[in-house]
Structure 1
């Protein structure tokens, strides 16, 4: 049985009664609200809940303001929809000029029912910028041959060149040459201050998780 998608709303409001009212409204309308009193609490809650919507008062009593908070959080999550609340008229609050594109402004004087807040949230979600598609980063090991990957796996185990030679039935000198070529392909031999064997092992473990 599929689980319905519950949209998460981060509610940032310095007045406890208003914050509780908004969270209660949203919970009864099927949202999953998380309340925060200021930008510091909101930042922590954002990291913990990954919200779909930021519903924030513009004046939080302390800095950062709601607009500054929204700008910061949408920089981290461009898909985040934003709804600004304020007791001031829109022109005075400056919501039309400040904050991320697509943000929706609601006067607290107009919050007479849950419908007002939900409609603003739906409008903001419709305007939210979807995350840009990202191309997968090429593997740093993409330039290695299958044989070199096999040798690197043994290096990542912490084996010496002599141990690798015995395992693969070859000479230590041949393994030394193979390891040297691996370092060259990974561009790890140019910095004398670092250990290329350790760095190569780290690249392997980052790619595969563990050495076989």
Structure 2
């Protein structure tokens, strides 16, 4: 696998590249700003870009805006956001299949991180539950999302994290059947009927997120 890293801290860039290398993931370019990310993806056509949110010159949301430019030019291009912050303004617009959003301080296992990198590169979605909760917290009152029970919201957060039904059951200490019932209720309350071309597990998180 070939990746581009966009991170303004040289030490973090080098450390991340070495960690990825230990997992047989090749860093073809490492850059420190948004324009550099766009140019590197265009030049190297990697399998994935790992992007920080806040980069020069304003250190606000340049990373996410650059990621959106990359996705506009290359629809579906895999992006893994790796940041200390949840940038709500653009996060909901970016998140979808082939996108991950992980918080740096909550990554505690290298093996799990490398697995998340590969999952996103393969077109999957991996989202830190804290990111999901912050985005869900922006919902207007009276939307279908408000009809979910607290347990259904927990299940939804774990779904967005990329967990299987069995993994959710183990995390919540419930049966697989109970998880299936919760997921069925989530789909029903959010109006997500069966559709062969839709990723309902992703849409359950994204459909009612405000931008």
Normalising by structure 2, what TM-score? 0.51
Is this contact kept in 1: 2:81–2:100, CA < 8 A? Answer: yes
Is this contact kept in 2: 1:86–1:93, CA < 8 A? Answer: no
The alignment status of 1:110 with 2:70, answered yes or no, reads no
Q: Which runs of 5 or more structure 1 residues have no equivalent in the other structure? A: 1-6, 130-212
**1:1-212 map, 5 Å:** 7-33=1-27, 34-62=29-57, 65-88=62-85, 92-94=86-88, 96-102=91-97, 103-127=99-123
Is this contact kept in 2: 1:110–1:116, CA < 8 A? Answer: no
**In the TM superposition, what whole-angstrom CA distance separates every residue of 1:87-135 from its partner, at most 9, and x where no partner exists?**
12xxx43275131522211111133443243122122123369xxxxxx
**Deviant stretches of 4+, over 4 Å:** none
Q: Which runs of 5 or more structure 2 residues have no equivalent in the other structure? A: 126-211
| The structure with more helix, counted as a fraction of residues | 2
Aligned to 1:30, the other structure's residue is in SS state: coil
Distance verdict in 2 for CA 1:73–1:96, change over 3 Å = closer
Aligned to 1:104, the other structure's residue is in SS state: strand
Normalising by structure 1, what TM-score? 0.50
Count of equivalent residues: 120
Distance verdict in 2 for CA 1:113–1:35, change over 3 Å = farther
Larger radius of gyration: 1
Displacement of 1:80 in angstroms is 1.6
Alpha-carbon separation, structure 1, partners of 2:116 and 2:41 = 20
Is this contact kept in 2: 1:51–1:80, CA < 8 A? Answer: no
Alpha-carbon separation, structure 2, partners of 1:48 and 1:27 = 21
Q: RMSD of aligned C-alpha atoms?
A: 2.3
Alpha-carbon separation, structure 2, partners of 1:111 and 1:24 = 16
**In the TM superposition, what whole-angstrom CA distance separates every residue of 1:43-63 from its partner, at most 9, and x where no partner exists?**
221122111101100111336
